[in-house]
């Protein structure tokens, strides 16, 4: 008995902001951004708000799963850019989807928001408390980026990803997971109320690699598998150099690591569900593959989840 992934969906705004566009905004260069981060362009929402993006991604996941949306019992949204202080983006999404039952709420865990949400959803399903759960990561980061700060404005983008999870009598897709936080390090990455993203990038870089390695090793051991069994790592897309260092430390070859940061930048809680959807559509994942998710973000928060798809 366990948790199955029934469908995935994404929404990416049409507006593209390239590194060349940023050269006109701040003192930077395509060469600096590409070599230091791996990012070439990012999507920026114009008309859409964070709920609209979540709705589009969710409808795609629900359609793919082929379920009646009124049978969804719980909606969990990971976001650091909620539409309102309250009610939650989850409740606004429930209203937009026209869902009349169950309950909805948000998770505030920055870039780890999707993995935290998945952790809760998996627990609710495995404990028998819910059978159908919509998990969404949606971010309008362009709204909280300081467009005059070259050290952060080049990094972030907008988008949403959704996964519909269901209870099944079969073996669980989610084999093991482990979440962490270290509140004392909150000031490495934060935004004050109504403020912009502030980040100590260099310090965060080292912590990110160390923490995600710890989380990955933990879940691999917990699941009783070995690193060489992993078919694909889908890491949070914060910086290609962080991803490459992590792969090197874990001893995983680059062809087993999914990267799309070049197209979207860091979309925080949306980054893993967007990458999962793309990896599935590109045929990078086959039934039975072992997939390792890992993320790290403001909080600090971090974690890893191991799936057998
Ligand atoms: N263009 C040109 N030069 C720049 C830019 C830019 N956009 N930004 C910074 N620089 C300059 C700096 O001013 C500095 O110049 P100096 O040496 O004259 O002082 C130089 O480039 C090097 O700056 P560093 O900050 O040391 O550059 P670094 O190689 O560390 O890269 C980066 C910066 C990309 C931010 C990196 O540190 C990083 O990715 N950190 C981690 C980000 C992360 O993991 N975030 C977590 C998840 S995000 C979330 O939770 C929302």
Each residue's pLDDT tens digit, 139-186: 999 999 999 999 999 999 999 999 999 999 988 899 999 999 999 999
Question: Lowest-pLDDT range, 169-173, 178-182, 205-209, 224-228?
Answer: 169-173
Give me the CATH topology for the region 174-308.
Answer: Peroxisomal Thiolase; Chain A, domain 1 (3.40.47)
Q: Which residue's C-alpha comes closest to atom 30 of ligand 1? A: 202
**Residue nearest (by alpha carbon) to ligand 1 atom 26:** 202
CA 28 to centroid of ligand 1, rounded, Å: 11
| CA–CA distances in Å: residue 128 to residues 3, 60, 169 | 10, 26, 11
CA distances from 173 to 14, 169, 289, 309 (A): 32, 11, 10, 5
Structural domain 2-168, CATH architecture: 3-Layer(aba) Sandwich (3.40)
Residue 1 has pLDDT above 90, yes or no: no
Is residue 89 lining ligand 1, measured as CB closer than 6 Å?
A: no
8 A C-beta contact, residue 191 and residue 198:
yes
Ligand 1 contact via 145 beta carbon (within 6 Å): no
Q: Are 293 and 172 in contact (CB under 8 A)?
A: no
User: How confident is the model over 30-85, as pLDDT tens digits?
Assistant: 999 999 999 999 999 999 999 999 999 999 999 999 999 999 999 999 999 999 99
Residue 169 contacts residue 123 (beta carbons within 8 Å): no
Ligand 1 midpoint to CA 33 (Å): 9
Q: Which atom of ligand 1 is nearest to the CA of 110?
A: 50
Of 19, 236, 239, 277, which residue is the catalytic one?
236
What separation in Å is there between the alpha carbon of 151 and the centre of ligand 1?
A: 5
Q: Is 205 in the pocket of ligand 1 (CB under 6 A)?
A: yes
Q: Is the CB of 115 under 6 A from ligand 1?
A: no
Within the chain, all domains assigned CATH 3.40.47.10 are found at 2-168, 174-308
- Which of the residues 111, 153, 216, 277 is marked catalytic? 111
């Amino acid at each position: 008995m366990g948790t199955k992934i029934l469908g995935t969906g994404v929404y990416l705004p049409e507006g593209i902001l390239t590194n060349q566009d940023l050269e006109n905004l701040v003192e930077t260069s395509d060469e600096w951004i590409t070599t230091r981060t791996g990012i070439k362009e990012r999507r920026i929402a114009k008309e859409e708000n964070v709920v609209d993006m979540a709705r589009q991604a969710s409808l795609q996941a629900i359609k793919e799963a082929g379920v009646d949306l009124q049978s969804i019992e719980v909606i969990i949204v990971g976001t650091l850019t909620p539409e309102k202080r309250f009610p939650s983006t989850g409740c606004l999404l429930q209203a937009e989807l026209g869902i009349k039952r169950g309950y909805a709420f948000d998770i505030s865990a920055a870039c780890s928001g999707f993995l935290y949400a998945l952790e809760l959803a998996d627990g609710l399903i495995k404990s028998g408390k819910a059978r159908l759960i919509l998990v969404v990561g949606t971010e309008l980061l362009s709204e909280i980026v300081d467009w005059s700060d070259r050290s952060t404005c080049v990094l972030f983008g907008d988008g949403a990803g959704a996964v519909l999870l269901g209870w099944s009598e079969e073996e669980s897709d989610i084999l093991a997971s482990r979440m962490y936080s270290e509140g004392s390090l909150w000031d490495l990455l934060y935004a004050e109320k109504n403020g912009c993203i502030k980040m100590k990038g260099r310090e965060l870089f080292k912590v990110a690699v160390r923490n995600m390695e710890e989380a990955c090793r933990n879940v691999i051991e917990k699941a009783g598998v070995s690193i060489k069994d992993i078919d694909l790592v889908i890491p949070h897309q914060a910086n290609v150099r962080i991803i490459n260092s992590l792969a090197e430390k874990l001893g995983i070859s680059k062809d087993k690591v999914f990267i799309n940061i070049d197209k979207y930048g860091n979309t925080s809680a949306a980054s893993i569900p967007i990458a999962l959807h793309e990896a599935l559509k590109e045929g990078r994942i086959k039934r039975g593959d072992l997939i390792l998710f890992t993320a790290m973000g403001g909080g600090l928060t971090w974690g890893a989840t191991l799936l057998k798809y």
